[in-house]
Amino acid sequence: MTRVAIVGVGQTKFDEHWERSLRDLSTEAGAAALHDAKLGGEHVQALFVGNMSSGRFVGQEHMAALAADAAGLNPIPATRCEAACASGALAFASAYNAIKSGKYDIVVAAGAEKMTDLKGTDAIATLMGAGDQEWESAIGLTFTGLYALIARAHMQKYGTTREQMAMVSVNNHRNGVHNPYAQFRKEISIKDVLNSSMIADPLTLLDCSPITDGAAAVVLVSEKFAKNFPNPVWVLGVGQASDTLALHDRENITEMKATKAAAQAAYREAGLGPQDMNLAEVHDCFSINEIIAVEDLGFCRKGEGGKFVEQGSIAVGGKLPVNATGGLKSIGHPVGATGIRQIADIVRQLRGGLPEPIQVKGARRGIALNIGGSGATAVVTILGKE
């Protein structure tokens, strides 16, 4: 089977785009990715779009057809991919597999979400569609509540502290200052996190990723076409796995089995291990999730994620820079777009040329983790340079 490379990336600024439509955002990101690849839309053979809930957020279903039409890509096949907050990475995995199979040579994977048209409570209710409707959302649970349960269990079992969780947010905001695409380009302190409004104990407002509008896209090509592009980044491995939808059905809520299984599959395909990674983009929808992610991806032992953060290991220049461009916490989290944005940021890191404070020097390989819901879906992608 052919190898697959990424030759173009693009995204909108992640923000509250009151004056722009979902159509506008998806078109801008796709055009930016094609421009980056120096490729005309007439060469694209298929489109995969990650989108969680455009029907509820803006009343627009049939999202993939909308994106293809707006971008002038008709009549190519266009497919919407939905896996809650992992929709973007699922679209990427689908595009990757479509080329890997030999069916296509040039494919665009994109993700888009327009969330701020709904009031906060309605947006929260829509996001809870990614949980178990019967056993979680129907009784009033929110994702902040679910991740608060995870945080409390991790604190009790392993001694993880509120300050260690706050350090995740501090690190990611410090990085996001230098990212022009980020929603919140402002440094914060541990004190700021601890003293911000309590949402679901122990998680405060600054432990939580925001409601965001935005889109991102990448261009993938087969190996025979990659030679036509000057700086390809290769897809070394992709893994996807599932777990129970409801949190209460899991044996251990301080780990995510889907992440572990997806990571093992991606490492196996790449022929690499955690020790071979130079940076990571992980799904910090809530600060506790970054701590659990570095454990489940194999960068430290189980229960030592808080200490890994406290020791400065996730900082740019640390043992393993994590979310060097700001993560979901600073960049924002338009749920359908996040998985694609993570991959685009790793591509930018491996190419080099990001602002010096967030450029991981000498990076050759990176790993992305995109999670749906409270961990029912996980997609892990490993990228590398020749």
Among 17, 81, 85, 300, the one annotated catalytic: 85
CB count in 10 Å sphere of residue 41: 15
Among 154, 173, 283, 333, the one annotated catalytic: 333
Which two three-digit tokens encode residue 278?
A: 């130079």
> What is the C-alpha separation between 320 and 313, in angstroms, rounded?
6
Length of the chain as a residue count: 386
3-state helix/strand/coil string of 304-322: CHHHHHHCCCCCCCCCCCE
Instruction: For 257-284, give one letter per residue: b (16+ CB within 10 A) or e.
Output: bbbbbbbebbbeebebeeeebbbbbbbb
Residues in a beta bridge with 286: 208
Cis peptide before 232 (omega within 30 of 0): no
Cβ(100)–Cβ(220) below 8 Å = no
Q: Is 333 labeled as catalytic in the residue annotation?
A: yes
Q: Is 85 labeled as catalytic in the residue annotation?
A: yes
| Phi, psi for 8 (deg, rounded to 5) | -155, 140
Catalytically active residues, by annotation: 85, 333
